[in-house]
Structure 1
Amino acid sequence: MPRDAGGVAGLGRRSSIGSRRSADAAAALLLVAASAVIVSAAIVGAGVSNPPPATPRRIGRPPPPTVVRAPGPPSAPRGRPQAVPNRGVQQQQWPRNRRKLIWSEEFDRLDENLWEHLVTASRGFNDEFQYYRNDRRNSYVNNGVLYIQPTLTAAEYGDDFLYKGQLQYNNCNLKPCASASGKDIVTPIQSARIRTLGSFGFRYGRVEVRARMPRGDWIWPAIWMKPVENFYGGWPASGEIDIVEVRSNRKLTTASGVSQGIDRMGTTLHFGPNSSYNVWRLTHWERSLEDVGGDYSDGFHIYEMSWTEKKIEFFVDKTYLGGIDAPQGGFWKLGGFDENPGGKNIWENGGPMAPFDRQFFFVLNVAVGGRFFPDGWKNYPYPKPWNWTSPHPMQDFWEKRNWWLPTWDPVGSSMWVDYIRVYDS
């Protein structure tokens, strides 16, 4: 889904794959935070020293080729099904000789010289419901696994703050920096988005990511890549690569009944001359585990991309997902841009895979809400708590938290990333 409005440092981004205050809110908030602090409608400074909660132990590396469920501590949700490999799908013939490892992140610690946190109230192209910040309650490493965990704003600042306050962190690095009550409430969710811009980027190679997706209604995690420089222009002219993104709802379907929840993942290439011409449907691939009774939160899965100067291919758990050879006439011809909007081919001086022929960097984030969850889709047992005709969708979402908050828990609603490895091509 388009998340970034343009510029390498822009927030927001990605593909098109989206009353009453309850008296028992305090009890529900205990699912995510140990205590709540009532604050006035003042600007709130950031805090980054909070210790992480108990988390599952690491599964040793190198990982086995099959998917394994991580054992959880007493605080973790119990009874998750064992992850199972895809059945009934022809296994892709992966080369036996491993390529040379050129970069890896094993998450032995959260290295802030490598991973820059975005701190911003920007809700991006998709009008998401979170404030991204640098806080160990939302991003931390434990036992060799990175956790990105969404939490409730009101768990720290109180319910009234959402209706009367203004939230801003001193280390904001992307405008807008303030989320203020008014037409809608303060962003009801806190989360994290981290990236390797300025520390690591590469062109061509094989990416391998071992990760477990969060489970919980209206959560939207993603592992993706953006160009180090906007060489061909602002988003999506310089491209975007979505390695994996899911909608974390347990039971979410289209109006016609096709599952779109945590049992389905997608990967996407975005390209186009400008934000009005974002093509992705031609380069979007999905894999569903609905038929085997599994999902992408039941354990670690392996997400891979093979990227060369002539081809991009994607794999999930060693099975082929989809890909594209360098198109005849390039991505300009593939997208039909020669006819609409016409004009000069912005990639004519690039390589066969332009705009996917420059260096890209990694982005990891967990969003909540937004237009990635369209109106008209069906969710069980409760419907979508907001719609896009409302003047205050975040307020509607928050005031129906008794519908979705019981599907969240502190460990299970986090995205877990065991490692990211990049090999030469």
Structure 2
Amino acid sequence: MARLFAQILANALLFLCFCHAGSAETLVWQDEFDNLDQGKWSHLVTAWGGGNQEFQYYRNDRSNSYVRDGILYLRPTGISAEYGDDFLYSGSLTLSDCNMEPCTSSAGNDIVQPMFSARITSNFAFKYGRIEVRAQLPRGDWIWPAIWMLPRDSVYGGWPRSGEIDIMESKGNDYYVDGSGVNVGNTLMGSTLHWGPDSSHNNYWRTHWEKNLQATGKSFADDYHLFGMTWTDNHLIFTVDNEQIGDVWAPENGFWNYGGFQDNPGGTNIWQNGNWMAPFDQEFQIILNVAVGGTFFPDNVGNRPWNWDGQPMREFWERRSEWLPTWHEEEAAMKIDYVRVYQG
């Protein structure tokens, strides 16, 4: 009986501590999207297809990023609706308010990017705290939504030396089945940390976690879900609807040893001036975007309407009768209810 009482008391104390910790948090930054506040967010405007060779231009246009009834919509649209189909094969587009090179894309061996979309970055940066993003993910083949973070200053060098925090990535496909028969489309989301001395030694696979709703008969495109991340000076925890899906604790001797990089001949610890959480010991900014296509959709999964050995964007566009019917107006948008950051 005494042991039982002691256990009950211990559990009660833990509960009280948990409640106290939660109540000690302070909401330090938020956007409830009463409007599109461009003082809080900056649009990326570029003809660059990203590190994954995506098929969109990013621009600052209310066709692709807009607020209605307290919801932010990030929506991909076809360029031919504005410029005509012939433009894809012979045109050249220069983005006048471009803020990242290249600013011009021209048809050549392949067509110009066939899609417009939006990517916004918070002007707010933070180190350590808890972030919550309530969002409904897009439905539509070959759409790639993401809620993620990059360092404000690349203290340790270019990607992935200074880290990347992916709170949520998913695919818009309703039916996208891998070789094991698992639907890895919009029933699946993943959280990932990217880190390493260079892109060929990116050890993201050690810090990748997933949540799949397939068994429930639901998808992340059916309703709003709460995507969260708690970040301290000794751990990162990822959650979906307040359920933990993954965590990493400050490795002994840091991420350099955790990645086995100390075994590389002549390798110098690029994070030796940080703490054991480095490179995740600097201020990061929040990014919300919707991409289309690219290498995020791997070979030999699903009936992907392009290959990489020829004209991938042309193939994608000319097979649009296979995928465009899956884009039902605003269902193809990522819809964000709010973004909140707490510290304390």
What TM-score, normalized to structure 1?
A: 0.75
* Number of the residue aligned with 2:85: 159
Q: Which runs of 5+ in 1 are unaligned?
A: 1-92
The structure 2 residue matched to 1:145, chosen from 55, 71, 80, is 71
Whether contact under 8 Å (1:375, 1:388) holds in the other structure is no
Distance verdict in 2 for CA 1:395–1:341, change over 3 Å: farther
2:306 counterpart SS class: coil
Letter in structure 2 aligned against 1:225: M
Letter in structure 1 aligned against 2:305: P
1:384 and 2:304 are equivalent in the alignment: yes
1:230 and 2:148 are equivalent in the alignment: no
* Number of the residue aligned with 1:395: 314
* Number of the residue aligned with 1:188: 114
Letter in structure 2 aligned against 1:255: G
Q: How does 1:15-414 map to 2 (within 5 A)?
A: 95-96=18-19, 97-98=22-23, 99-196=25-122, 199-340=123-264, 342-378=266-302, 383-389=303-309, 391-414=310-333
1:138-197 deviation per Cα after TM superposition (whole angstroms, max 9, x unaligned): 00011111000000000111111100101122101111111111100010000001102x
Letter in structure 2 aligned against 1:314: F
Distance verdict in 2 for CA 1:341–1:260, change over 3 Å: farther
1:251-297 deviation per Cα after TM superposition (whole angstroms, max 9, x unaligned): 00223322210000000000011222111010000000000111101
C-alpha separation in 1, matches of 2:284 and 2:39: 18
Deviation at 1:342, TM superposition (A): 4.6
Deviation at 1:395, TM superposition (A): 0.1
How many residue pairs are counted as aligned between the two chains? 326
Deviation at 1:341, TM superposition (A): 5.9
Deviation at 1:324, TM superposition (A): 0.6
Letter in structure 1 aligned against 2:64: N
- The structure carrying a bigger strand percent of its residues is 2
C-alpha separation in 2, matches of 1:421 and 1:95: 20
Whether contact under 8 Å (1:102, 1:423) holds in the other structure is yes
C-alpha separation in 2, matches of 1:395 and 1:95: 54
Whether contact under 8 Å (2:174, 2:185) holds in the other structure is yes
Identity fraction in percent: 54
- The structure carrying a bigger helix percent of its residues is 2
Letter in structure 1 aligned against 2:134: R
Letter in structure 1 aligned against 2:39: N
Distance verdict in 2 for CA 1:100–1:341, change over 3 Å: farther
C-alpha separation in 1, matches of 2:51 and 2:268: 26
C-alpha separation in 2, matches of 1:169 and 1:184: 19
C-alpha separation in 1, matches of 2:94 and 2:77: 16
Letter in structure 1 aligned against 2:246: G
1:216-255 deviation per Cα after TM superposition (whole angstroms, max 9, x unaligned): 0000000100001000111111110000010110000223
1:252 counterpart SS class: coil
Point out the more displaced range, 354-363 or 255-264: 255-264
* Number of the residue aligned with 1:89: none
C-alpha separation in 2, matches of 1:281 and 1:225: 18
Deviation at 1:416, TM superposition (A): 0.4
What TM-score, normalized to structure 2?
A: 0.93
Root-mean-square deviation over aligned CA pairs: 1.3
Whether contact under 8 Å (2:236, 2:247) holds in the other structure is yes
Letter in structure 1 aligned against 2:336: V
Distance verdict in 2 for CA 1:185–1:350, change over 3 Å: same
Q: Which runs of 5+ in 2 are unaligned?
A: 1-14
C-alpha separation in 1, matches of 2:272 and 2:95: 43
